[in-house]
Amino acid sequence: MTDGDARTLLAELGAAMIATGQPVHEIEAELVALAARLGHPDAQIGAGPTSLTIALASGDPATFEQVTSPLRLDQATQVRRIRHQLHHRQISGTTAMAELTELRRLRPRYPSWASGPALVLVAVGIAGLLQPGWPNLVAAALGALAVDALMRLARRHHLVATLLPTLAALVVAVLVLSAARAGLLEGALRTILPPIAPLLPGALIVTGMSELAAGQMQAGSARLVHGVVQLGLFALGIVSALYLLGLPATTLLNVRVDDLGWWGPPVGLLLIAIGISLMESVAVREAPWVLVVLLLAYGAQLLGQHLGSVSLGGFLGAVAASLGATLVELRRPNVARLVLFLPAFWLLVPGSLGLVGVSQLVVDPSSAVESVLGVLGLMAAIALGLLVGSALGDALRNKVRPD
């Protein structure tokens, strides 16, 4: 393989890894190790949230590759497989390049009509954890259908895609707040969150925090600012619905109802696992492992909240999700860690809790500093848990399966 071919291959692979949502410090470390295996131990790589630049040595020609759009979890599995096989010299560079080229054309495993029911399952599952009341579950399901229609429209119209956070929050909020005004449900704010949870920037913000902690200032700050702006757009939609319907700010009080009892969370977790698997084209054989990691994360989160605070729960949940995904990958090498780990972000709901904090500013502006500090503290705790879990997982992986 010529230097130009090697540079192009690493750039294409790195761009695909960025598109899976993997933190840039992990991408750089893995690409440097792979470049050394390909005979270029002095490779220099600069990865960002939307692009990557690579040179095989200082002063050599560099290649720039831009990331076009995110990849599904089934595509992320293929990216991980290609990198692993290249690292262990199980496939040639030419074959890897051809597979990376075909990756974007990989069709979803399930039919397109399944996205609506899948989003309903996820929304009802999250509602079973956040706001387990029968009217709230129904409202979450109807809101999910509305969000799915908006997402389909956004694929065809750029303006709708740009305004999607605000439009989705507005439509769902109008639906839920109208039901609350009619006396059909309580706890409107927590009922609004489940249908829009898949769109919330929780994973984006936590990934940015972890990148900042790892010294990646540019990527981390860019993701963090983008995530905060996204939260603001969601909050704008909710507040706009409040004033559009002429309701008092107290309608957005953070009230939790519980009509389901003990069985709500287990069923909710099962529905989330099924829904995510359908939305992200996760193979049927991998779906049970997604559920296992969700259970680990949820159990650790509850333990932390019982022992200390929400932040401790977020920290332990992130550690459990990251370490649990590594353990499953060691036991089942064909199941990519990233596929198991990313769904746990929806369970930890950092973006939702952040949106609660931002929306609460409308109810009590005097609590602005307290709300912002609480959100930042939770994000930092989850990011720290991600780093600790990743470090423990890497140590375990190197001990059990050294390269």
Q: End-to-end alpha-carbon separation of the chain, Å?
A: 23
- Mark whether 203 and 318 lie in a shared domain: yes
- Mark whether 278 and 393 lie in a shared domain: yes
Tokens standing for residue 184? 């059909």
Question: Which of the listed residues 104, 126, 141 is the one where a domain comes to its end?
Answer: 104
Q: Are 56 and 7 in contact (CB under 8 A)?
A: yes
Angle formed by the axes of helices 287-307 and 264-279, to 10°? Answer: 140
The model's pLDDT over 256-289, given as tens digits with 9 standing for 90+, comes to 888 888 888 889 999 999 999 998 888 888 889 8
Mean pLDDT of 167-196: 92
Quickly count helices (H) and strands (E) in the chain: 17, 3
Q: Which amino acid is at 32?
A: V
3-state secondary structure 153-167: HHCCCHHHHHCHHHH
Looking at the domain assignment, is residue 379 inside a domain? yes
- Mark whether 149 and 29 lie in a shared domain: no
Mean pLDDT of 316-320: 90
Higher per-residue pLDDT: 96 or 232 = 96
What is the predicted pLDDT for the residue at 147?
Answer: 96
Looking at the domain assignment, is residue 365 inside a domain? yes
How many Cβ atoms from other residues are within 10 Å of residue 29's Cβ?
15
- Mark whether 92 and 195 lie in a shared domain: no
Quick check: 110 pLDDT over 80?
Answer: yes
| Dihedral pair phi/psi, residue 29, rounded to 5° | -65, -45
- Mark whether 252 and 186 lie in a shared domain: yes
- Mark whether 71 and 92 lie in a shared domain: yes
Tokens standing for residue 299? 């159990």
- Per the structure, the complete domain to which residue 44 belongs is given by 3-104
- Mark whether 298 and 172 lie in a shared domain: yes
Q: Where are the alpha helices (DSSP H) in 214-286?
A: 217-244, 264-279
Higher per-residue pLDDT: 175 or 4 = 175
Quick check: 330 pLDDT over 90?
Answer: no
Share of the chain above pLDDT 70, in %: 92
- Enter the pTM of the model: 0.86
- Mark whether 67 and 121 lie in a shared domain: no
Q: Within its chain, how far is the Cα of 26 from the centroid?
A: 16
Tabulate helix, strand, coil % of the chain (nearest 5). Answer: 75, 5, 25
DSSP type of residue 70: P
DSSP 102-139: HHTTPPPSS-GGGHHHHHHHHHHHHHHHH---HHHHHH
- Total domain count for the chain? 2
Cα 46 from Cα 57, distance rounded (Å)? 13
Looking at the domain assignment, is residue 109 inside a domain? no
Quick check: 2 pLDDT over 60?
Answer: yes
- Mark whether 157 and 220 lie in a shared domain: yes
- Mark whether 129 and 99 lie in a shared domain: no
Looking at the domain assignment, is residue 188 inside a domain? yes
The model's pLDDT over 363-382, given as tens digits with 9 standing for 90+, comes to 666 665 666 667 777 777 88
- Mark whether 296 and 342 lie in a shared domain: yes
Least reliable range by pLDDT among 8-22, 190-204, 245-259, 359-373: 359-373
Cα 66 from Cα 150, distance rounded (Å)? 27
